Structure formats: C-alpha cells, structure tokens
Amino acid sequence: MTTKEKNRPLRVLQLTDPHLMARADGDLLGVRTRESLQAVIAEVLKVHGQPDLILATGDLAQDGSVEAYRVFGESLKSFSCPSVWIAGNHDHIDNLLQVSREYNASDRHVIQGGWQFVMLDSSVPDKVFGALAESELAFLSETLEQHPDIPAVIALHHHPVDIGSDWMEKIGLTNRDAFWQVLDRFPQVRIVLWGHIHQEHERERNGVQLLATPSTCIQFTSGSSKFSVEDLPPGYRWFEFHDSGDFATEIRRAEDFQFELDQNSSGY
C-alpha cells in the first residue's frame, strides 16, 4: 500500500429509503424504485467512485418481501465494499435479517478507518413511528463504553429531533429523550445519522452533527405541515472520514434521472 493510499480518508456511502418491491416495475408515487436506486448507484460511481463502507438506513423494502431485499443486495454488488443494513418502518425485520445475513450485511458495529459505526434498530412492528427498545439502548451504551477513544457515528432510521414538519413530528423517534440521555454521556459521538424523512437535514446539538439524507426514490417537502412530496431527484450522502477525527460530507442527487411524480397522493 502506498503512503497516499494509507493516508486517504475512509469513504462511506449512506443509502436510505429505497422502498424496493418484489415486482420489478414497482413504483412509489409514480417513481419506479428499482430504477431510481440504480440511477443513484450510477451517480455514486460517476462522481465519487468506490466507497469503503455502505450504511443502509432503513425502508429498504416497501413490501417487506425477501425478493426486494435480495434486489437490494444484488444492486450493491456494483460496489466492492461491505455494507450494513438496518430496518425502517416499512421493513419486515425477519426477512431483512435473513437476507442481510446472506449478504454479510447484518453487523451492528463496525470499526474502520479510525471510526466506529453503531447501527440501531428503531423500527416498531406495524407502526410508522420509531422507538429504541431497552435492549437497543443497552447495546448503544455498552458499545460506546467499550470504545471510548474512537469517534463514533450513530445510525438509525427515525429522526431523533424535531425537523420542523408537523406531520413527520408524530412519526419520529418517540423515546428520543432516552436516546439522548445515553449519547450525552459519550463525547466520542460525532454524528447521528438517519433516513425516514426523505429529505436533506443538517443541524448541530452539543457538538454532534445531526444529519438526514434524501431517499433513493421520492422526496418529502421540507417544512411541510401535511404530507407533501416535491419534484427533486433521488439522492445519497457521501462521507470522507479522517483518522484525525475530522470528516466532510455532502449530498448528491441523480439529476439525470427522469420521472413523473404523482403529486396528488395523500400518503405513501
């Protein structure tokens, strides 16, 4: 390995909310979700090249089918790196776990490039809102206690803060106070990362960067009081992590992807 390769940052790709289906022509509000995911993957490869790790942060399937998860796993074969998957509110947890194990994507804690990535399951069966079970909070606490000197990224599906959208406030993480009580004890936490809200969001809390990412299919209107979608292309988030503890991140969208959004839908 050359010095240049050794010193380069760790490249991490977040993909979220692809809402894949068993049907190849399955669509969400007029957007064919397999096609939009492929457009995003093509954009990643064109703009950034190969990542070193992929974080898939929930709603991988719209129908919860084994077939949909396998489509996701096969799609990620465009990349030559490992991935880790967590569940969202649309996912079928048993099917997701079955297939994620087939693709070696079921790890909950990854240490790579001088950083650690903790993957949390905030899904609640048959509910749109999220919550972290006591076992999840214990896993989070124990993992961070064991690695106090490694900067940490915490990933989950549901938003743990108010994002200024009335209809989504009711379907975020319902026990966010318990979540923050754990995180506030650990200064190595640098980033909290999520999906679910189908839009870019960025803020800071006590020195921790709070980041959300566009879906690889449809996009929800930022700041909307009622369910609303906007005509924005699918996207992803890219990170470059340095072993110094510094990082850079950006959102990119598949601007060339052609679609006709059903603006009249009242839900998804």
State the pTM of this model: 0.95
Q: What is the pLDDT of residue 268?
A: 63
In this prediction, residue 263 carries a pLDDT of 73
Residues making up the chain, counted from first to last: 268
**How are beta strands 83-86 and 109-112 bridged, if at all?**
unpaired
Alpha-carbon distance of 72 to 208, in angstroms, equals 30
Q: Report the greatest alpha carbon distance in the chain.
A: 54
Strand partners, 31: 28
What is the spatial distance between Cα 254 and Cα 234, in angstroms, rounded to a whole number?
A: 6
Other CB atoms closer than 10 Å to residue 223's CB: what's the count?
12
pLDDT of residue 3: 43
Cβ–Cβ < 8 Å for 208, 183: yes
- What does residue 82 show for φ and ψ, rounded to 5 degrees? -70, 160
CA quadruple 255, 261, 263, 268: dihedral sign: negative
- Helix, strand, coil tally for the chain in percent (to 5): 25, 25, 50
DSSP code of residue 206: T
Predicted local distance difference test score (pLDDT) of residue 7: 80
pLDDT profile of the chain (268 residues), mean per 10: 66 98 94 97 98 98 98 98 98 98 98 98 96 98 98 98 93 97 98 97 96 97 91 97 96 94 68
Closest CA relative to residue 146, chosen from 190, 116, 107: 116
* 81 class by beta-carbon count within 10 Å (0-12 exposed, 13-18 middle, 19+ buried): middle
pLDDT of residue 2: 43
Distance CA 37, CA 99 (A): 18
Interior angle at CA 120, CA 52 and CA 196, nearest 5: 85
